[in-house]
Amino acid sequence: MQNSILSEIFNEMADIMEILGEDRFRINSNRKVGRVIGDIGMDIEILLATGELAKVPGIGKSSLAKIEEFIKAGKIAAHQELLKKIPPKLLELLRVPGMGPKGVKAVYEKLNVKSIAELKGAIKSGSFAKLPGFGDKKAAAIIRGIEFLEKSTGRIRLDEAMGAAYIVTDLLRELAGTHRIQTAGSLRRRAETIGDVDILVSSGKSKKASERIIEGFASAEFVEEVLAAGPTKGSAIIRTETTPVQVDVRVVPKESFGAAAQYFTGSKEHNVRLREIAIKAGLKLNEYGLFKGEKMVAGEVEEEIYQKLGLDYIEPMLREDRGEIDAAGSHTLPELVRLKDIRGDLHIHSRASDGNCSISELAEAAKKLGYKYICITDHSKSSAIANGLSAKRLARQIKEIRRLNEQIEGITILAGSEVDILADSSLDFDNKLLAELDFVIASIHSGMTGPRQKVTARTLKAMDNPHVRCIGHPTGRLIGQREPMDLDIAAVIKHAAETHTALELNANPWRLDLKDTHCRMAIEAGVKLVIGTDTHNIAGLGLMGFGVATAARGWATKADILNTLETAESFTGIGT
């Protein structure tokens, strides 16, 4: 939690400094420190105490001193001084789509706008539109942005973004003149939350073809509000089953489609690094292509951009400036895990607890996905709200699974349990019963707001049990609803390596727990991951792709994932 707070402070300092027009180098430095801290999986206080923080690239002496100040005092004097230089509500303007630090600087300096309410007033009076570089279109877009902000949280889950993208891409495929379609931005990188959905379209050279595509998008029945509709770009709020989503559609020339895909996929930090490499090579890189002087040397195909820069192709999920560019230059990028590599799902709930399907129904559905095995992991007795199984009910379920294995061909059904880690660190079932199971997941479902030392100790103690093979959704977070436990994730990973316990990457898009940076920490420590859907119905088996994408963002290969093994015997010991 300290990491998250510190990351926000450094980013906020950068925002304030940009609004105040301070030194660009210092602004960029603070942004980089904020990003680096946000990516660090280990408790920053521990890194500081051991001296390891000083070795982290991007954190200089000045930043180190500020971090130490925060650890000791709970605040940073430089941050407090910057806050005093601006009105209290000014930073709220940054939440409005289209109002970046430069825009906030302009309305604050020229119009004395200090809050969203005053911004509305400036737009209504017409003074906003009169600012240089703004105008009526900008004013209308900002008003719509304010309305969008007021009726949404501003960021949505990955599954919600993908749902919105499917709605729009299905329409675009039907429009005349459409050649290629590619999602971009944080959605293509499979980030856990998305601001708005970016979609690129390639069409012919005809200007009218581009205009027809944008018109077709803007006039679609699912569009609630059009934010912009130019000859090559349309932006709109669309209606989905769960939430309003902003979608931006750009039409780009065929010869620039690869360059546009690279540029608009980002991330910003990744793109900055690529442009630096291009400049050193005497080239220029932008969304239109890679150029040597006036001559385009690459642009139509995305892979060629990287090739011409002397790099191996970097998968979109890795484009976060977390070492992938150096690895691409030295030909050491990992071969990322793919959905096709998954051989089974090890976290499934049946009708016996809080699921909707029988074990045989789940097994038949998994066979259709090509799985070799599944594990039934119904809740244990302490999860009363989830109809957790008593010891007697679990014993009967084990016998039922053994019988079904003799009846159902083509798939192995494992007898498992998602056992609660109780407040006193004990498990919900005794070792005699746990020993009868093929695969045991231990999870915390209560007392998650407890102090760091306690929730960490509970997790470590569970891993000491020889029958526990995996820790389920280790931090307990629910994206957008519940903060993660204040867990010492570094200690958990260290102990997982010592006890040969796997850690789950829960594929449910509400969880994605472990998150990507924690996955990478675990992999580097030699800890195996298990990607489980935690499904309660047949449809939920399809969530596996979200987990695989998050694992890939954590640099996971097939070898890092336990349930890529061909047979259940490989990791359970059954049949030996």
Domains and CATH numbers, the chain: 2-151 (1.10.150.110), 156-257 (3.30.460.10), 268-329 (3.30.210.10), 339-572 (3.20.20.140)
- Strand-pairing partners, residue 246, are 237
Q: How far apart are CA 419 and CA 463, in angstroms?
A: 12
The answer to whether 131 and 110 are in contact (CB under 8 A) is: yes
Q: How far apart are CA 177 and CA 174, in angstroms?
A: 9
Q: How far apart are CA 380 and CA 389, in angstroms?
A: 5
Residues 6+ apart with CB under 8 A from 431: 465, 466, 467
Burial pattern 526-543, b for ≥16 Cβ within 10 A else e, equals ebbbbbbbbbbbbebbeb
Q: How far apart are CA 561 and CA 570, in angstroms?
A: 12
- Please state, in angstroms and as integers, the Cα–Cα distance from residue 455 to each residue in 274, 383, 425, 486, following that order: 42, 18, 9, 7
Whether pTM > 0.85 for this model: the answer is: no
Burial pattern 73-90, b for ≥16 Cβ within 10 A else e, equals eeebebbeebeeebeeeb
Q: How far apart are CA 420 and CA 285, in angstroms?
A: 53
Q: What is the largest CA-CA distance in the chain?
A: 79
Alpha-helix residue ranges (DSSP H) falling in 465-501? 489-499
SS3 379: strand
Which tokens hold the place of 444?
A: 């915390």
Q: What is the CB neighbour count within 10 angstroms for residue 267?
A: 18
Q: How far apart are CA 41 and CA 516, in angstroms?
A: 9
SS3 548: helix
Which tokens hold the place of 293?
A: 């002087």
First to last CA, the chain: 45
Tell me which H or E stretch contains 184. Answer: strand 178-184
Give the full edge-to-edge strand order of the sheet including 470-471: 344-348, 373-376, 412-420, 439-443, 470-471, 502-506, 529-532
The tens-digit pLDDT sequence of the chain (576 residues) is: 578 789 889 999 999 999 999 998 999 999 989 888 877 767 788 889 999 899 988 899 999 999 999 999 889 999 999 999 999 889 989 888 788 899 999 999 999 999 999 999 999 999 999 999 899 989 998 988 888 777 655 688 999 999 999 999 999 999 988 999 999 999 999 999 999 999 999 987 778 889 999 999 999 999 988 988 999 999 999 988 778 899 999 999 999 999 999 999 999 999 999 999 999 999 999 999 999 999 999 999 999 999 999 999 999 999 999 999 999 999 999 999 999 999 999 999 999 998 889 999 999 999 999 999 999 999 999 998 889 999 999 999 999 999 999 999 999 999 999 999 999 999 999 999 999 999 999 999 999 988 999 999 999 999 999 999 999 999 999 987 788 999 999 999 999 999 999 999 999 999 999 999 999 999 999 999 999 999 999 999 999 999 999 999 999 999 999 999 999 998 886 654
- Please state, in angstroms and as integers, the Cα–Cα distance from residue 482 to each residue in 1, 312, 347, 509, following that order: 13, 39, 21, 13
- Please state, in angstroms and as integers, the Cα–Cα distance from residue 451 to each residue in 426, 463, 476, 478, 486, following that order: 17, 19, 14, 18, 7
